[in-house]
């Protein structure tokens, strides 16, 4: 995500540089390039907008180190954003999925996915989300996000995913 | 879900007439034996004569039976079937009166002869004899009979009798394998339970693929399967009756149940239950529904397997910081770690003979299938792959099956004997994982 943000900012910066190649008629003395982050969608938006990469949204997933279930700083920031969304959508419930990469045995990975989903659930609860609004499921290594068998694919598959639904518990 | 005609009803019709009172009694002192744990042994040359028949229908049956017996014995890696075109004696008299010099002349050390009869009641009867060519002695003489549609089981029973007489070990040919058939794209895999004979015949699907299923295991009677099924977002342990297709959940628990296995007496299921994310091992009595928690540790405790006498359970746990193999008493007491080498050790499976524990090992980015003694000593690696997982024992404890997936490739079942020199792929209609080998089928 960080890379995407940087690229988006760079694209905007390049576009404004492109505009400034022709000598502007007036006010052209400004040679400074100003840049700022686009505001993320507020928690009042729909989950789709809130987590839409094209709108610079928050991610709907967090990632884990190999054979670990602790939440790093990025994961914690993302889960905090999820909790804000949950606060703004009082009728929403969320299914938290825990997943593992394929470099573990099938049954152990089910156990690992359960620990990952539970770590996320526990943090949501600590942030004030009612436990009754959260369900967890472990898919182990059964539902990879990407099909590859390299380190980047493994990294993308070791994940926890939030799937909220609104209207009815 | 509608299922084909129940197999076991046919199975129950299989009628074993037992040893015939043939003129030449089998003796226990025969010299012809195969030492199956001798790594330097040569496959035994055996001449398998198609059973004698008196019409074209019977000849067709006889040829198919000889084909199945040949495939079974050769598939074990212990036998080399001599090409029938080399046979010298083929006048029919070999059935009861082999000219042993003729069979010696083509290098046969063992000889199988027999007769097949299509009976008017729809049964097939076979009478076969196993001969020691060197001594001219009959080692086995047996009559088998069953319904015509069930002919393959006659061939498997024959194979088992021959294997048993020549190796001193019980056979494993009259068995079935349940596994997970995989199809569809990697990101949305469809998984179905499927069952087939040990040699891949009589294949059929047991579930329709709508729900994700995995890790099937047979009951001791081979009539039921316990496995994991995702119903909605609820992964739970179920028991499936193979003939009726009826499915029953194993207990109502708050949390995921997974990794189920039957106890050797079939009365209990041992499995993992993840409550608040913590996977512990529980046993449930199927008659009383009483459950007993066996492990108490915040680590992942899973993949349990009973010792054949039911007194102990082997399982894997990452309580030391890495996945290792542990043994405990069946009531959860006396936990001790048995795998002490580097690497992750997983999916321990106690051999039906009790002498070994098969396992999956992960080390340096690769998967291995191996065996160790129940005290953790004598580790031997038998197979390896990019992914290789989930060994299951043939009922005689001499052969393992597991699945392997090469990097970028598809999952497939393999079998290997304990010497590690006879690894064979199993042919299945779709990609295949999570095999479980049945006990020897009942007559």
Q: What angle do CA B199, B204, B210 make, to 5 degrees?
A: 135
Residue in A108, A135, A138 closest to B316 by CB: A108
Residue of A nearest to B191 (CA): A142
Predicted local distance difference test score (pLDDT) of residue B442: 86
Chain B nearest C-alpha distance from A112 (Å)? 7
Distance CA B350, CA B339 (A): 14
**Residue B107 contacts by C-beta under 8 Å, 6 or more apart in sequence?**
B45, B82
Sign, CA dihedral B418-B421-B422-B425, equals: positive
Strand stretches in B49-201, DSSP E: 79-81, 110-118, 123-132, 137-147, 176-183, 190-197
Predicted local distance difference test score (pLDDT) of residue B263: 98
- Contact across the interface for B279 and A114, Cβ inside 8 Å: yes
List the structure tokens of B57: 């229908």
Each residue's pLDDT tens digit, B290-348: 999 999 999 999 999 999 999 999 999 999 999 999 999 999 999 999 999 999 999 99
**How many CB atoms within 10 Å of residue A119?**
23
Phi, psi values for residue A155, rounded to 5°? -60, -45
Interface check B5 vs A, CB under 8 A: no
Residue of B nearest to A69 (CA): B277
**Which domains can be identified in chain A, with CATH numbers?**
47-165 (3.30.1330.60)
Residues in chain B with pLDDT values less than 70: 1-31, 39
Nearest to B7 by CA among B144, B153, B124: B153
Nearest to B182 by CA among B406, B440, B441, B403: B403
Predicted local distance difference test score (pLDDT) of residue A23: 53
Predicted local distance difference test score (pLDDT) of residue B174: 98
B229, B235 contact by CB (below 8 A):
yes
Predicted local distance difference test score (pLDDT) of residue B9: 35
Q: Quick one: what percent of chain A has pLDDT higher than 90?
A: 69
Chain A nearest C-alpha distance from B124 (Å)? 44
Predicted local distance difference test score (pLDDT) of residue A91: 95
Nearest to B109 by CA among B33, B170, B171: B33
**Residue A48 contacts by C-beta under 8 Å, 6 or more apart in sequence?**
none
Residue in A103, A115, A147 closest to B187 by CB: A147
Interface check A77 vs B, CB under 8 A: no
Please give the helix or strand (H or E) that residue B358 lies within, else none: strand B357-363
Interface check A68 vs B, CB under 8 A: no
Taking contacts as CB-CB distances below 8 angstroms, the residues of chain A near B186 are 144, 147
Higher confidence at residue B5 or residue A125? Answer: A125
Chain A nearest C-alpha distance from B367 (Å)? 8
Residue of A nearest to B318 (CA): A108
Taking contacts as CB-CB distances below 8 angstroms, the residues of chain B near A149 are 386, 407-408
A99, A145 contact by CB (below 8 A):
yes
Residue B319 CA, distance from chain mean position: 32
Residue in B212, B276, B302 closest to A142 by CB: B212
ipTM confidence score: 0.90
Distance CA B119, CA B126 (A): 10
Query: What number is the average pLDDT over the span A32-49?
Result: 87
Each residue's pLDDT tens digit, A74-123: 999 999 999 999 999 999 999 999 999 999 999 999 999 999 999 999 99
Predicted local distance difference test score (pLDDT) of residue B274: 98
List the structure tokens of B206: 């047991």
Q: What is the 3-state secondary structure (H, E, C) of B81-111?
A: ECCHHHCCCCCCHHHCCCCHHHHHHCCCCEE
Taking contacts as CB-CB distances below 8 angstroms, the residues of chain B near A147 are 185-187
């Amino acid at each position: 995500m960080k890379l995407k943000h940087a690229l988006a900012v760079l694209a905007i910066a390049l576009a404004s540089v492109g505009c400034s190649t022709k000598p502007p008629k007036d006010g052209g003395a400004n040679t400074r390039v100003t840049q700022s982050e686009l505001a993320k969608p507020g928690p009042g938006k729909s989950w789709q907008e809130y987590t839409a990469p094209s709108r610079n949204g928050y991610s709907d997933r967090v990632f884990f180190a190999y054979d670990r279930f602790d939440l790093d700083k990025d994961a914690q920031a993302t889960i905090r954003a999820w909790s804000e969304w949950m606060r703004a959508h009082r009728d929403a419930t969320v299914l938290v999925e825990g997943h593992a990469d394929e470099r573990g045995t099938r049954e152990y990975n089910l156990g690992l996915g359960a620990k990952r989903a539970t770590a996320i659930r526990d943090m949501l609860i600590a942030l004030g989300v009612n436990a009754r609004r959260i369900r967890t499921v472990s898919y182990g290594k059964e539902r990879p996000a990407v099909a590859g068998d390299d380190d980047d694919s493994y990294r993308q598959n070791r994940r926890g995913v939030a799937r909220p639904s609104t209207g009815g518990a | 879900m509608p299922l084909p005609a129940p197999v076991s009803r046919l199975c129950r019709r299989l009628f074993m007439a037992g040893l015939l009172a043939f003129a030449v009694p089998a003796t226990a002192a025969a010299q012809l034996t195969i030492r199956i744990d001798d790594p330097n042994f040569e496959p035994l040359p055996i001449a398998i004569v198609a059973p004698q028949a008196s019409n074209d229908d019977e000849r067709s049956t006889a040829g198919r039976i000889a084909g199945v017996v040949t495939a079974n014995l050769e598939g074990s890696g212990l036998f080399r079937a001599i090409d029938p075109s080399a046979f010298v004696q083929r006048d029919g008299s070999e059935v009861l009166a082999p000219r042993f010099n003729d069979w010696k002349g083509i290098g046969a050390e063992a000889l199988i002869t027999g007769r097949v009869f299509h009976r008017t009641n729809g049964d097939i009867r076979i009478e076969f004899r196993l001969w020691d060519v060197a001594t001219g002695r009959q080692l086995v003489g047996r009559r088998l009979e069953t319904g015509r549609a069930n002919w393959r089981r006659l061939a498997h029973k024959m194979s088992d009798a021959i294997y048993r007489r020549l190796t001193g070990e019980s056979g494993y040919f009259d068995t079935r394998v349940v596994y997970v058939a995989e199809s569809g794209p990697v990101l949305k895999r469809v998984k179905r339970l499927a069952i087939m004979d040990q040699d891949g015949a009589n294949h059929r699907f047991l579930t329709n693929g709508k729900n994700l299923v995995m890790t099937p295991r047979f009951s001791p009677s081979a009539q039921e399967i316990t496995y994991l099924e995702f119903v909605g977002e609820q992964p739970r342990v179920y028991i499936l009756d193979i003939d009726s297709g009826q499915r029953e959940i194993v207990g109502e628990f708050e949390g995921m149940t997974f990794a189920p296995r039957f106890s050797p007496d079939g009365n209990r299921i041992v499995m993992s239950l993840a409550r608040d994310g913590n996977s512990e091992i529980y046993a449930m009595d199927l008659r009383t529904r009483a459950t007993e928690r066996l492990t108490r540790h915040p680590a992942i405790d899973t993949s349990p397997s009973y010792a054949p006498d039911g007194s102990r359970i082997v399982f894997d746990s990452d309580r030391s910081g890495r996945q290792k193999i542990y043994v405990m008493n069946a009531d959860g007491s006396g936990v001790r770690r048995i795998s002490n080498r580097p690497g992750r050790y997983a999916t321990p499976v106690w051999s039906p003979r009790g002498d070994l524990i098969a396992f999956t090992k992960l080390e340096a980015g690769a998967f291995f299938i191996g065996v160790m003694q129940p005290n953790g000593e004598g580790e031997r690696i038998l197979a390896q792959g990019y992914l290789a997982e989930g060994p299951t024992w043939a009922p005689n404890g001499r052969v393992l099956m597991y699945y392997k997936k090469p990097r970028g490739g598809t999952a497939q079942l393999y079998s290997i004997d304990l010497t590690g020199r006879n690894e064979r792929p199993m042919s299945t209609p779709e990609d295949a994982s999570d095999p479980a080998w049945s006990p020897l089928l009942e007559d």
